[in-house]
Structure 1
């Protein structure tokens, strides 16, 4: 079956792409025909994914990027631009978490969560936006920030995470407002609980299964659940969509 090339001509950069939903987003954009740049702190961990993407018939590359460090973010964009030209499609996906009561959370862990989930989003999106604003076609810009339903609802035992994701949600709205005239579309996606490489051990444990049984639909979402929304928000079709905050959580948290 032929695949529609919805992203042909686009250059996409995805942070936190070494596993889970970041890698899945890279596949979505590659299937759409985009040139794909996958970013993580250790580029060597991305080589198998690059080969997988190239097997789909697109050009792909890996870049080292620590989203908490401005010089690292800039260097990652420089490498991507040197090979493919201006990055016009950005998915700020890198994120970390630490569970536990606020009274027990070491301040170093709190700071690291904010550094990746909020500062990292700011640096990733700002650098991409700077370059888009200098390009000949800033209106091709598509930015997607991965936040969480925890940015909209208080989740038990995740104070620092929720605070960081609430910051990411507001960054998305603020960037959309700042770049509304040059027509760069900036949108935020807030997923619910999903089964990923990182949390599989927990969710397959007795405690994790008990938690799943209490969800309204008694199931976790697969990572593929986000694909249609990500495909739309990173395509030409999203020209009239900006500043949106889209929660995809299978009814796990309903106001």
Structure 2
């Protein structure tokens, strides 16, 4: 999908302020770009500053309004500080995309405590804190909002040799977090939904594909791995104000890669 095609889609986010975690690479980079090209002001957050600066320069050259700050999603104080920065630059954040995540990439019995804590903090604790903080600010400002959490088909499907039990468990937690927060915050017009992607090309999956080879796609019905651009319409549907009746839902976007 070209930038021009993204700009011309029917979802107009002019006046919205989006905060995207893990925006420096992979799906997060695509999500940030999609929101910006749909008219939203976008704050880019992530651990590495250089990729964020590169994306900011690219988007500003296209006429988008962007701010950025490096942030470790495991650091609650850093989350609040980054939101403060976003609000001072762009206004109240009313779209949150909880994209930052890491894989465990090993069998459970081989994981040390440091890795266990890191995966849980990155994939679940951080998104929960970010959601809570954004919701508190929206409630105080008496504004509606949209939160989109990134889960995974691993929340619903697991193979014996997957070697990602902890990752999948945290992504299942994201689905339940989405459902419960949606109910808790419905009275404030804050919608909370999730996307559960299958196998897409991204920085996280590159290592896995390197290990097992591109032949992994042969096991899929359509023999292909997802392009991040193919999630544009799913993301935009969930942040579109016209989708105000959709909350507490997890959309599986996996091209029928896994069993149901």
TM-score range, shorter chain: over 0.9
Partner deviation per Cα, 1:121-163 (whole Å, 9 max, x = no partner): 10111111110111132x2x01100011111222421101011
1:89 is matched with which residue: 95, 104, 111? 95
Q: Distance in 1 between matches of 2:204 and 2:102?
A: 10
When the two chains are superposed, the root-mean-square deviation of aligned CA atoms in Å is 1.6
Counterpart of 1:72 in 2: which secondary structure? Answer: helix
Where does structure 2 lack aligned partners over 5 or more consecutive residues? none
Instruction: Name the counterpart of 2:250.
Output: 245
2:45 is matched with which residue: 36, 39, 61? 39
Kindly state the Cα deviation for residue 198 of structure 1 after the two structures are TM-superposed.
3.4
Instruction: Name the counterpart of 2:80.
Output: 74
Q: Distance in 1 between matches of 2:200 and 2:64?
A: 28
Superposition TM-score, scaled by structure 1 size = 0.94
Kindly state the Cα deviation for residue 54 of structure 1 after the two structures are TM-superposed.
1.1
Contact 1:95 1:117 in 2 (8 A): yes
Contact 2:102 2:204 in 1 (8 A): no
Instruction: Name the counterpart of 2:129.
Output: 123
1:19 is matched with which residue: 2, 22, 25? 25
Superposition TM-score, scaled by structure 2 size = 0.92
Q: Distance in 1 between matches of 2:85 and 2:12?
A: 25
Instruction: Name the counterpart of 2:234.
Output: 229
2:204 is matched with which residue: 180, 198, 206? 198
Instruction: Name the counterpart of 1:216.
Output: 221
Segment of structure 1 superposing worse, 56-65 or 20-29 = 56-65
Where does structure 1 lack aligned partners over 5 or more consecutive residues? none
Instruction: Name the counterpart of 2:108.
Output: 102
Count of residues in Structure 1 that have an aligned counterpart in Structure 2: 252
Residues 1:44 and 1:195: Cα distance change in structure 2 (over 3 Å)? closer
